[in-house]
Amino acid sequence: MFLGTHSPRLDEKGRLILPARFREQLAAGLVVTRGQERCLYVFPIRGFEEMQRKLQQAPMTSKQARDFLRVFLSGAYDEVPDKQGRITLPAKLRAYAGLERDVAVVGMGDRAEIWDAAAWDAYLEEKEEVFADTHEEVVPGLF
């Protein structure tokens, strides 16, 4: 499971050292792709395969489903981390997420997200208040 927030930096070649806590789960391979809110999603290869199978269940007759699949899958990039736990983020994905040097790698349970550090801080500042004030059941059956 991917948990916590980590603050690695991109090097001049667009490489990212994965948080030590995530390396074992990603050692066999991973897929990085566009995520919502201008972040990148990082899935273990098996998790991405499962996600892709679920996505393929969407009806081809739905324009919104086709659009989502095209954007999501066309940005997908697979890689195996090197011995130092580094991955290279393609320039197009770095541009999509606005990544330069300081990043936040956020554990999301079944995946990790990579954010520009300033964008993550702004997002969290805005959403923490909403989170603290939530009075209704957001996830059915959770509370």
pLDDT in tens, 19-53: 999 999 999 999 999 999 999 999 999 999 999 99
pLDDT in tens, 88-100: 999 999 999 999 9
pLDDT in tens, 105-123: 999 999 999 999 999 999 9
Q: In the prediction, which pLDDT does 138 show?
A: 67
Q: In the prediction, which pLDDT does 142 show?
A: 61
Q: In the prediction, which pLDDT does 143 show?
A: 59
Query: Distance between CA 85 and CA 33 in Å, rounded?
Result: 18
Query: Distance between CA 45 and CA 21 in Å, rounded?
Result: 17
Q: In the prediction, which pLDDT does 141 show?
A: 64
pLDDT(10) > 90: yes
Encoded amino acid at 3, one letter: L
| Cβ-based burial of 20 (10 A; exposed 0-12, middle 13-18, buried ≥19) | exposed
Q: Among the listed ranges 8-12, 78-82, 87-91, 138-142, which one has the minimum average pLDDT value?
A: 138-142
Q: What's this model's pTM, rounded to 2 decimal places?
A: 0.91
- Ordered structural domains, the chain, with CATH: 5-132 (3.40.1550.20)
Alpha-helical segments (H) within 27-116 = 45-55, 63-74, 91-97
Task: Please state the separation of Cα 93 from the chain's center in Å.
Answer: 11
Contact 117, 7 (CB under 8 A): yes
